[in-house]
Structure 1
């Protein structure tokens, strides 16, 4: 091995070490769950990022649906979920730092719901109009709230920074594009794994928040069936593009419901 190769490996090692140290140094306690997480943003930075990104999301999905009654309906269900979340946090002497706001988008073709970091939650008219009950809407919005409170975006950004650093190190060490592409492919596999775990965690939040707000969490099972029918054997709705298959999520949601209510779901919850 010549001097150039040795120097290249040394530089690559330094970049890799710095990337790993930076990743594990970027830790923070989640103010809602109390868990320590590797995140790339503070809660204030998450809120500011969500505020800056919201106008672009509105433009991408044709703006707000011009139906104030429907928007009020989404606001009402969403705010009930936040009230339930805040009440649960108060009992644990914790506080929700996120100013949640809900948007009903005009796009009537794209079946989707998503959340920006910091508390901006969106649902398209295409998905909203397919939901038959308030419990189903509560499940969808609760799922998206779960992404925010679990700080999934801040976690993913930290993982992306780590992957980019390791990919750069592999590029320098290997000295060719092929090596870098292999490293990048590994990074993408890592992100896919964590992304699907995030979706299941968000489903857990959806079940629990819906029940705490007085809705039957089994309504989320109906949401999965609606999404499966919407796919119709074709490409899945955008809401499912990075999610586990609805059939797999049904099994998982059933498991979460059983764990939350081992003696059965209480009577009187709204469907």
Structure 2
């Protein structure tokens, strides 16, 4: 009987693709999503708990209040299953210039980012971008692609927590096998999150023009060592800045009061 299971798996995947092929991201991009929000939220929560055990958590009250203030202003604009009080924010004590968001409303910010994102608007650019990955279900999309690439394996082993898919699940969340190692999404997903995050920060009252300043700071911080765009999963700094400027020109005027988050 075992020799028939790969064919059953392939049939299941084909059926799943047929059911999900019409799924669209917030920007209208077509996606294949094989996993439920509940499964992804569970995976995100489990991974976040593991990160908190392995990474050093920053305990400075002013820093935490500042990051929480920016995050609250952004998540206050969300509704449905992503309401503000369901987001957990943790500041990690690390020189990494990075942040991340996981399904289930988990956000991590590394203190190294605060040396590059020099004001609340620039920090909102990054956190809004990471929230964009969650809103667009990019982890689900990446994990689904991994599953499709392994059609010969039993579908039953996809169950969250299954040892065979542990590494694939971590990759789907943008986390390395050792946790704490943040893996980039594809360029289409990164660009899409830029757009979602820009809209979110502008709606929350932050200055979207600071997104350009943020990526100019990122370019300086990288010291010109960024790989050629064709060899990178991220858009180049110059492409990102040009795209952001084009999107800023399209934004409507919002009447939201500017947040007052200070460290």
Same fold at TM > 0.5: yes
3-state SS in 1 of match to 2:127 = helix
User: Which of the numbers 203, 206, 221 marks the counterpart of 2:212?
Assistant: 221
8 A Cα contact 1:216 1:270, kept in partner: no
- Once residues 194 and 131 of structure 2 are traced to their aligned partners in structure 1, the CA distance between those partners, rounded to angstroms, is 10
Change (3 A) 1:30 1:51: farther
Change (3 A) 1:16 1:144: same
- Once residues 35 and 195 of structure 1 are traced to their aligned partners in structure 2, the CA distance between those partners, rounded to angstroms, is 14
User: Which of the numbers 17, 23, 43 marks the counterpart of 1:23?
Assistant: 17
Unaligned runs of 5+ in 1: 1-7, 87-93, 169-191
Q: 1:212 Cα deviation (Å)?
A: 0.9
Indicate whether 1:123 and 2:99 are aligned: no
3-state SS in 2 of match to 1:259 = coil
User: Which of the numbers 46, 52, 55 marks the counterpart of 2:46?
Assistant: 52
Q: Which has the larger radius of gyration?
A: 1
3-state SS in 1 of match to 2:57 = coil
Instruction: Note the alpha carbon deviations across 1:95-150, whole angstroms, 9 max, x for none.
Output: 53682222211112x21111112221111111123221100011111001111111
More helix by share: 1
3-state SS in 2 of match to 1:114 = strand
User: Which of the numbers 222, 246, 253 marks the counterpart of 1:231?
Assistant: 222
Q: 1:242 Cα deviation (Å)?
A: 3.8
Does 98-107 or 250-259 show the bigger shift?
A: 98-107
8 A Cα contact 2:75 2:83, kept in partner: no
* Number of residue pairs matched by the alignment: 225
Q: TM-score, length-normalised on structure 2?
A: 0.72
8 A Cα contact 2:82 2:105, kept in partner: no
Change (3 A) 1:221 1:31: closer
3-state SS in 2 of match to 1:78 = helix
